[in-house]
Amino acid sequence: MSQIHVLVINCGSSSVKFSIINTRSGEAVLTGLAERLLSNKASFTLHYQQQSEHFSLQAPYDHQAAVAALVQQLSKLELLEILSAVGHRVVHGGEQFCQPALITKEVKQAIADLSRLAPLHNPANLTGIHAAEKALGHLPQVAVFDTAFHQSMPKKAYLYGLPYALYQEHAIRKYGFHGSSHSFVAGQAANFIGKPASQCSFISAHLGNGCSITAIQAGQSVDSSMGFTPLEGVVMGSRSGDVDPGIIFHLIEHLAYSPEQVHQLLNKDSGLLGLSGLSNDCRELEQAAFQQGNHRAKLALEIFCYRIAKYIAALCAGLTSLDGLIFTGGIGENSSYVREQIINQLSLLNFHLDQDKNRETRFGKSDDISTPSSRYALVIPTNEEGVIASQSVQVLQEAI
């Protein structure tokens, strides 16, 4: 294939994140974001060749309008011609998709059917696919699923202690998310330590606004903290992570919460935001905790780090050996405070921190932040867009 640029589209409920990736160099030629969609504050930002463009979107302020504006900009910049494909991030692929897929009528139907498992995400992803097909119908479109990497989990890891019929009849099981990120950083980590991925075992911690921890053996996911939905697992920006399900009955029966209110509470009002009462943003909380002496911000961060360390230790049960720990995502790549707390909590597993390296490793730098006697503690910047682009090209090459 002579042309190697892929437009990657990541459609959320009120945003479209996009980038053009050169799959040969892995570099992003252009990046941008349309946000606050479906409101009259909808805006569009594009970064290209050290220049940024920012403008308000015109009515109807929807995903279609965002993709149309993107195509207009790409046409103006003469970038439409260089595109070989459009790669879409699709959150839920259920048990059906353990690989990326060329988008056909059947694949779109399957993504729509899987909306019952991801009502917040799959409909938005599908909207992005429809908008891109309308505007860029001449290009092949590929779906890359967040859950696909975790389809290698064994039954003992993905089944809940619930009646088996709920799995058989309603597909209720653990799926795991952030698959593109976990698989990418595990591959990079194997390169870093100079061992074939097939001989490596890692625990990977993707810590961003959403957070998940995955046990990876021989390049395959064997267990992960997120579950049936991305709500399970560690404390996140505004999601609670694990709670006793009994709390939900208590909220409904004794505190008059409706199902919608419980949903809002656990997904939007909890996590770092709920605990601190201040923000879901780790950087803001670190400032509040350590520059302004805000105790609740400090407590929120302590709980966040402790629960992550607890999950890392628990997920070791899924591995037969352990080379090291990988930190990625906005927090994992940048917060030396969070990494220090987590590693200090894990000295029993022989993780020990090199303070200087920890302080110096941020802003897109990869490094081992452990002492020589420790297991590896690697910081590896993720590149979900790069994975989506390269997997899209792979799908096209296989389809030829």
Sites of contact with ligand AMP (CB under 6 A): 208-209, 237, 281-283, 286, 329-331, 334-335
Q: Are strands 141-145 and 5-11 parallel, antiparallel or unpaired?
A: unpaired
Q: Is 78 annotated as a binding residue?
A: no
Q: Is 332 annotated as a binding residue?
A: yes
Considering the complex, what minimum distance in angstroms separates the CB of residue 285 from ligand AMP?
8
What SS3 class is residue 306? Answer: helix
Q: Is 22 annotated as a binding residue?
A: no
Considering the complex, what minimum distance in angstroms separates the CB of residue 394 from ligand AMP?
25
Q: Is 333 annotated as a binding residue?
A: yes
Active site residue: 62, 113, 146, 323, which one?
Answer: 146
Nearer to ligand AMP, 223 or 281 (CB): 281
Phi, psi for residue 166 in degrees, rounded to 5 = -65, -30
Considering the complex, what minimum distance in angstroms separates the CB of residue 130 from ligand AMP?
26
Q: How far apart are CA 262 and CA 167, in angstroms?
A: 24
Nearer to ligand AMP, 214 or 335 (CB): 335
Give the Cβ contact number of residue 149 at 10 Å: 28
What 3 state SS string does 221-261 have?
Answer: EEEECCCCCCCCCCCCCCCCCCCCHHHHHHHHHHCCCCHHH
Nearer to ligand AMP, 266 or 272 (CB): 272
Residue pair 100/392 in contact by the 8 Å Cβ criterion: yes
Beta bridge partners of 32: 18, 46
Residue pair 212/225 in contact by the 8 Å Cβ criterion: yes
Phi, psi for residue 6 in degrees, rounded to 5 = -120, 135
Nearer to ligand AMP, 130 or 357 (CB): 357
Q: Is 281 annotated as a binding residue?
A: yes
Q: Is 27 annotated as a binding residue?
A: no
Nearer to ligand AMP, 368 or 384 (CB): 384
Is residue 368 flagged as an active site residue? no
Considering the complex, what minimum distance in angstroms separates the CB of residue 359 from ligand AMP?
12
Name the residue whose CB lies closest to ligand AMP: 330
Considering the complex, what minimum distance in angstroms separates the CB of residue 149 from ligand AMP?
17
Q: Are strands 28-35 and 43-48 parallel, antiparallel or unpaired?
A: antiparallel
Residues with a catalytic annotation lie at 146
Annotated binding site for substrate: 89
- Annotated binding residues: 10, 17, 89, 206-210, 281-283, 330-334, 384
Residues annotated in the binding site for Mg(2+), as ranges?
10, 384
* Binding residue numbers for ATP: 17, 206-210, 281-283, 330-334
